[in-house]
Structure 1
């Protein structure tokens, strides 16, 4: 069901949904293994899709108030609300600052992004990275996966510590960027 929903969402909104199927268990495990090491208290997920990563993150956060989930595509958002009735699912990831203010959250420990930034303008990319960097606590992590290396130069301007890992067991094969804020 999730794969069909994801494909339909991609066909309806290819600029909002970056892939034709959800992230693989290999990609999810790769991302969450890094998160396990850091033991975050408050996490934001930008671009949750059908919730395969959300499910893993939900199990890692200490409370339901600790996970902020964003998905802009209407059908995927509705699916997430049904799948995770205990979580509040937000729409526009660029509203992260307002959501944090509403929930009295000063800084995040970790932000995970699956947003399709390859379709973003240079200005939108800078806006996203400014927002991410300013809302991470010192020592916080930004984890992003993409299907190309185009984000490397943008991330290097914001973060001192970046590592990139290739995950071939995903359709499409993905590059995972691990960025640490000093």
Structure 2
């Protein structure tokens, strides 16, 4: 990542620290921990939440097979504009709580994988719940949700929603991070 992107990321962090969540972009070790659990040859639809300057987005382009529909959600208008220019083949939206609407407008009936860099700890409990509910509603039955966080505060909310929650520790990131790999959303009413 060029120095220009680092400066932009830092400037956006200081403008809106609760939205950005970190002073520097994710390390390559963290990106690898996020992407390695995904069976990319079986993936037709990908959603990325909180793309920032596009560290994970750039790797997504390399990993996924041709024809994979990719939806990038980034709330910061400056960062989203940058990403739109770099990745014109992807679909873009702002509000992660509108995932189901955005996908259905593109005639998609769910996502095979959802990757999240959203700083859930900085969100109100209502926002966390609303976004996690959208993730469960949008994720296909055999889909996978992967998120990184700097604490384990979100673990109980994930365990309420997924049958399988695996946690991996990534010390080679600033700050060190937990990667949550979640499978099989629990059906409503159980």
TM-score normalised to structure 1 length: 0.94
Task: Quote the residue 2:103 is aligned against.
Answer: 100
Task: Quote the residue 1:180 is aligned against.
Answer: 183
RMSD: 1.5
CA displacement at 1:91 relative to structure 2: 1.4
Flag structure 1 segments of 5+ consecutive residues without an equivalent.
none
Q: How many residue pairs are counted as aligned between the two chains?
A: 182
1:61-82 superposed Cα distances (whole Å, 9 cap, x missing partner): 3346511001001111111112
Distance 1:17 1:180 in 2: 26
Matched-pair contact (CA < 8 Å) for 1:2–1:22: no
Alignment of 1:91 with 2:94, yes or no, is: yes
Task: Quote the residue 1:15 is aligned against.
Answer: 18
Mapping for residues 161-172 of structure 1, pairs under 5 Å: 161-172=164-175
Distance 1:97 1:138 in 2: 15
TM-score normalised to structure 2 length: 0.90
**Equivalent residue for 2:145, pick from 138, 142, 146:** 142
Structure 1 residue matching 2:180: 3-state secondary structure = strand
Q: Which runs of 4+ in 1 moved over 4 A?
A: none
